[in-house]
Structure 1
Amino acid sequence: MAASTPIRSRHGSARRWSMSFDEVLGHDTIRQCMSRVFGRDRISHAYLLAGPEGIGKSLLAQQLAKTLLCNRSPVGSGAQQRMNPCGECGSCQALASGNHGALQILASVESRGIEVGTLREMMRSLSLRSGDRRVVVIDPAERLAEPAANALLKILEEPPAGVVFLLISHRPAQLLSTIISRCQRVTMGPLTLEPFLEVLATVPIDESSGRWLFGAVGGRPGAAILLQQALERCGGEEALAQIVHSAVRDPRDLVAVAGDAGGQTDREMALATIRVLTDAIWAFRPAVGPGRWQAAEKATLLSHVARHAERSGSVDLCLEATAMVLSATDLEQLRIRLPRSLGVA
């Protein structure tokens, strides 16, 4: 899906395109480094923003794109200049309204990934547009189908003038090594506690809940927000813990945990459900004993189910497999049965 619209986020909004660079919380070292690079106008033709899901990669990409496209851009204005777009020019206003022709976003559709035809159409559209800079966001880059990945590699080998590629990747090991080598890699990690709590306070989520969520999901505020929403939807910790540790009559009922963010496909809803339940399993793990190891094993197995759902797996089979993992007591048998239940044995 190619679009000249903002990145869609499971827990974001158009307000993100009205934010300044300084409002991106956490990742201070990366923001300072990018500010120096932009201030000196030493911009690479491609950046790879790599790290776990839910840590702010898409948000950083949005702010980089906004800075690059601002008509009063501070890019090249000096090493010490803060990289805050003006927020007032026609470009910033177009981004805030969700319509900017110099921004192209490639995202996967259902299980097909990002196809080569979509990439070529995007490049054709950019070639017809005049202007100093154009920005392409690919989110996530590992969802490029093989022909599209090969086509992107050729583009990166001879990058068009004025085009900056922002590749977002949760699992960079799945990318072609030749694509990685042609990008400036920006490795992002989970947030530490203080910026994590600052992000959650903007939702708002209180500090006590934030500290519990930090222990549940680590420094991934995006995952924490989804887990908090699941807790509220289910009626609290006890109710969600009951779902995590019990058998369900109809696996399709599990999607109520993640809810519908609006406009989601069945696959996207299933993936959101599996990811929230994966975090919930770890959140409600015992402090000590074999139950802690079992929680880790179940979370790992659910991550495999999610990856199968991402690729091409049946949504119903993936939800059935999720229910099987949640209710399992014999993990040895679960490892044997799970591939069969997904239809991959």
Structure 2
Amino acid sequence: MSARKVEQEIAVRHPRETTALFGHRDAEAALLNAYRSGRIAHAWLLGGRQGIGKATLAYRMARFVLANRDSAAPAVRGAESLAVDPDDYAARLVTSGAHGGLLTLERSANDKGVMRTVITVDETRETISFFGSTAAVEGWRVCIVDTVDELNPNAANALLKILEEPPQQSLFLLISHAPARVLATIKSRCRRLSLRPLAVEDVVRAAAEATGMDASDPGLQEAAEASEGSVSRALALLGGDSLQLQTRTAALLATLPKVDPAELHALGDALGTSDRVALASFLDSIERWVAERLRTGDANADLPRLARLAEVWEKIVRAARDTESYNLERKPLVFSVFGMLAEATR
């Protein structure tokens, strides 16, 4: 399968359409056991690296709860997983995004068709009418926030208010790629569930499921081994160009705080003008480099430097979102990113 075909698959596939879960058996068991105990926490914070299956698990849980509204039913008591028959009526409604008992908060397009960089407060306030309505559906109501990292400050406060006084039979599944940065007041009202990066064999199986490729494909195996446990990263790496791009980015990062303008120009050209996969690969390389330094740095001796680096990463994320949302040129982003990193590491 070509890299172009894989990119198209990434663009159209949504976690709610994915019924298979690879890895995360302990996390799945925690949700299942909590539900059938009859005392499930009303809010869960699913944290972990991007692309490892957090959203897939959230929709899997929502599908199970909405298809099995009685937590004491024999089907729930005897369940060994959160799997639901794809032909189940509730499951089909969840997959199509039409279930009245499920609300998803995620970034959306504005009036001009441009993807917003954050989840807005108006969108978050939809939870009030969703949980207050009685006409559409009875029983459990589930709200998935994908991701809580993308709530703007007013939206985060609006979510906090409803988390403080949750309605009966309400379930919030909050997804976060960086749970340490989630508001402490929100975290205090959630049960935390940390998901680990997937094993290579699970990445292979998940990527094969997503693309239709043969799991024995050498390219798929190579991408999985370089993915660091992330399915989305493996999909981005398929085709070889992204692997080369990450190698080039890593070489430039190794020279910081020095930068070579000629190499930055070449890297900007390699990113193209609208290649989302290439941009994602570039950002993955930057994120891993920053995360490694934040993990290994001496928190006492290097606190000011680490704080600067963390602040720079937040700026990079915002700049990258704007670049993708407004389809801006990639080369200025490359120069900006390396300029900020050079300044932060001097």
In the superposition, the TM-score normalised over structure 2's length comes to 0.69
8 Å contact 2:237–2:243 — kept in the other structure? no
* Cα distance in 2 between the residues matched to 1:181 and 1:36: 21
Paired letter, 1:309: A
Distance 1:142 1:18, change over 3 A: closer
Return the letter of the residue paired with 1:17.
E
Aligned pair partner of 1:76 in 72, 75, 78: 72
CA RMSD of aligned residues (A): 4.0
- What is the match of residue 61 of structure 1? 58
| Alignment match of 1:135 (pick from 120, 142, 151) | 142
Distance 1:280 1:176 in 2: 23
* Corresponding residue for residue 321 of structure 1: 333
155, 158, 173: which one aligns with 1:151: 158
| Cα pair 1:252 1:319 within 8 Å, conserved | yes
Does the 8 A contact of 2:224 with 2:234 survive in 1?
yes
The 1:47–1:334 alpha-carbon spacing in structure 2 relative to 1, beyond 3 Å, is closer
| CA gap 1:227/1:239 in 2 versus in 1, 3 angstroms | closer
Residues 1:275 and 2:272 are matched in the alignment: no
Distance in 2 (CA, whole Å) between partners of 1:300 and 1:176 is: 16
Instruction: Please list the CA deviations of residues 200-250 of structure 1 after superposition, one character each: whole Å capped at 9, or x if unmatched.
Output: 332325353344334422111221111215x3xx4x856875688744469
Deviates more, 1:88-97 or 1:54-63: 88-97
Q: Does residue 1:254 correspond to 2:271, yes or no?
A: yes
Matched AA of 1:76: A
Assess, with a 3 A threshold, how the Cα gap between structure 1 residues 58 and 213 changes in structure 2: closer, same or farther: same
CA distance in 2, matches of 1:302, 1:317: 20
1: CA distance between counterparts of 2:12 and 2:327? 24
- Structure 1 gap segments, 5+ residues each: 1-8, 261-268, 283-298, 339-345
TM-score (norm 1): 0.70
Name the SS for the 2:226 alignment partner.
helix
Q: Secondary structure at the match of 1:124?
A: helix
Aligned residues: 294
Q: Quote the residue 1:265 is aligned against.
A: none
Please name the residue that 2:17 is paired with: 17
Shift of 1:17: 3.2
* Alignment partner of 1:180 is 2:197: no
Mapping of residues 205-220 of structure 1, within 5 Å? 206=216, 208-220=218-230
Cα pair 1:274 1:306 within 8 Å, conserved: no
Paired letter, 1:120: R
- 1:55: how far off? 0.6
Partner of 2:126: 121
The sequence identity of aligned pairs, in percent, is: 25
State the Cα distance separating 1:114 from its structure 2 match: 1.7
CA 1:301–1:228: 2 relative to 1, 3 Å: farther
State the Cα distance separating 1:25 from its structure 2 match: 0.8
Moved more, 174-183 or 102-111: 102-111
Cα pair 1:18 1:87 within 8 Å, conserved: no
Compared with structure 1, are the counterparts of its residues 300 and 174 closer, same or farther at alpha carbon in structure 2 (3 Å cutoff)?
A: closer
Structure-1 residue corresponding to 2:31: 34
Identify unmatched segments of 5+ residues in structure 2.
1-8, 109-114, 252-262, 291-308
Q: Distance in 2 between matches of 1:301 and 1:115?
A: 22
Residue by residue over 1:148-189, the C-alpha shift from the partner in whole angstroms, topping out at 9 and shown as x without a partner, is 211211111110122211100011122111110101111111
Whether the aligned pair in 2 keeps the contact of 1:142 and 1:171 (CA below 8 Å) is yes
Q: Which amino acid aligns with 1:155?
A: I
Residue 40 and residue 164 in structure 1: after superposition, are their counterparts in 2 closer, same or farther (change >3 A)?
A: same
Q: Partners of 1:176 and 1:15 in 2: how far apart? A: 25
CA distance in 1, matches of 2:285, 2:99: 36
Q: Report Cα offsets for 1:265-286 as digits up to 9, x if no partner.
A: xxxx95x36435648999xxxx
Amino acid at match of 1:49: L
Aligned pairs for 1:196-235 within 5 A = 196-202=203-209, 203=211, 204=213, 206=216, 208-228=218-238, 231=240, 234=241
Q: 1:25 to 1:73 in 2, by over 3 A?
A: farther
Who is 2:259 aligned against? none
Q: Distance in 2 between matches of 1:108 and 1:25?
A: 26
In structure 2, the partner of 1:107 is 106
Aligned to 2:317: 307
The one-letter code sitting in structure 1 at the alignment partner of 2:104 is I
1:336 to 320, 325, 343: 343
> d(CA) in 2 for partners of 1:302 and 1:322?
14
Instruction: Report deviation, 1:53.
Output: 0.3
Q: Look up the SS of the partner of 1:24 in the other structure.
A: coil
Q: Is the 8 A contact 1:67 1:74 kept in 2?
A: no
CA–CA distance in 2 between the matches of 1:214 and 1:18? 19
1:117 counterpart letter in structure 2: D
Pick closer, same or farther for the CA change 1:151–1:76 going to 2, 3 Å.
same
For residues 106 and 184 of structure 1, do their structure 2 counterparts lie closer, same or farther at Cα, with a shift above 3 Å needed?
Answer: same
Is contact 1:49–1:166 with CA below 8 Å preserved after alignment? Answer: yes
Paired residues of 1:115 and 1:148 also in contact (CA < 8 A): yes
C-alpha displacement of 1:15? 8.2
Q: CA-to-partner distance for each residue in 1:127-168, whole Å, 9 max, x for gaps? A: 223310111111110211112211211111110122211100
Instruction: Tell me how far apart the structure 1 counterparts of residues 288 and 246 of structure 2 sit (CA, whole Å).
Output: 8
Amino acid at match of 1:96: T
